[in-house]
Amino acid sequence: MLVLPATSLILFFILYPTAFLIYASTLRYLLNVGGLDKAVFIGGDNFINLLTNPVFYNPVLLATIEYVVGSLTVEILAGLSLALLFTTRLPGVRVMRNAIVLPIFFAPITVGYLFYYILDPNIGIANYLLSGLGLPTSCWYACNSSAMFSLILIDSWQWTPFIFIILVAALEGLPQEPYEAANLDGAGRWKIFKDLTLPMIFPILMIGLILRLLDLMRNVDIIFATTKGGPGQLTEVFGYFIYYTGFQSFNIGVAAAESVVFLIIVNVIATIIVRRFWLAGAT
């Protein structure tokens, strides 16, 4: 009885929408021709059409992999480096920590529009500063060669602080006895980091990786504000692909099928990470 309120909320806000999503994926369900009242049951046709559509594999899956891998690599390396730096006893370290985490508090859509103007090839301050320093300018999100890099840059600016926060907490909670023993044995900094620090913070690092992976896979805000999936479909990652199908083409049935496939892919990836890496690191 004590857990009944929480259980009811879970059933209402998670299980029911998921069940309806699966049901909608079996329908020819178009918002602009009558909605659910005019929906027709078509079985697995939406899934067949999706999985036989070349666009689903290239550029959507390829763009998603590039975006997720690029952003995770930058955020983990930068977050870990900053966490190691700011757990040392530097003057004003607490003030600098607070400054680093500020981007987290901005709404992603706000960050997207902010960088839309900062990186604008014609009027953006980024190119103005680069030209003032005598460096080559870039067309940023407007060109094929730099559009994905721009998205990775924007996402990393906002979410590297998230990795930074959890790793600072992990580093400050580590026991000091192993470090004292390593120092007595004459171990160098790199060996201490590789053999002591990294294995102990590895489970926390994997939690951060999984959370960021899930968020990156469903990202819509930054792409909507900057590239809108372009140039062409070069930056149309999975989350934006679903959004465009459902709310631009009004094809809710196909969007639901895409969401079900997305749900399966994300769960498979998360399960592999947990079993192969997080549990291995924890033990």
- DSSP codes of every residue in 230-260: -STTTT--HHHHHHHHHHTS-BHHHHHHHHH
pLDDT tens readout for residues 205-254: 888 988 898 889 888 999 999 999 888 889 999 999 999 999 888 899 99
Residue 98: the pLDDT is 85
Mean pLDDT of the chain: 88
Residue 117: the pLDDT is 93
Cα distance between residue 54 and residue 276, in whole Å: 31
Average pLDDT over residues 257-261: 94
Q: Which two tokens stand for residue 263?
A: 């749900």
Residue 252: the pLDDT is 92
User: Measured in whole angstroms, how far is the alpha carbon of residue 126 from the centre of its chain?
Assistant: 24
Residue 207: the pLDDT is 87
Task: Show the CA angle centred on residue 263, arms to residues 213 and 30, nearest 5°.
Answer: 125
Answer yes or no: is pLDDT of 101 > 70: yes
Helix 62-85 / helix 198-217 crossing angle, nearest 10 deg: 140
Answer yes or no: is pLDDT of 60 > 70: yes
pLDDT tens readout for residues 180-209: 888 888 778 888 888 888 888 988 888 898
pLDDT-derived band at 1, boundaries 50, 70, 90: confident
Answer yes or no: is pLDDT of 280 > 60: no
Structural domains of the chain, ranges and CATH numbers in brackets: 54-282 (1.10.3720.10)
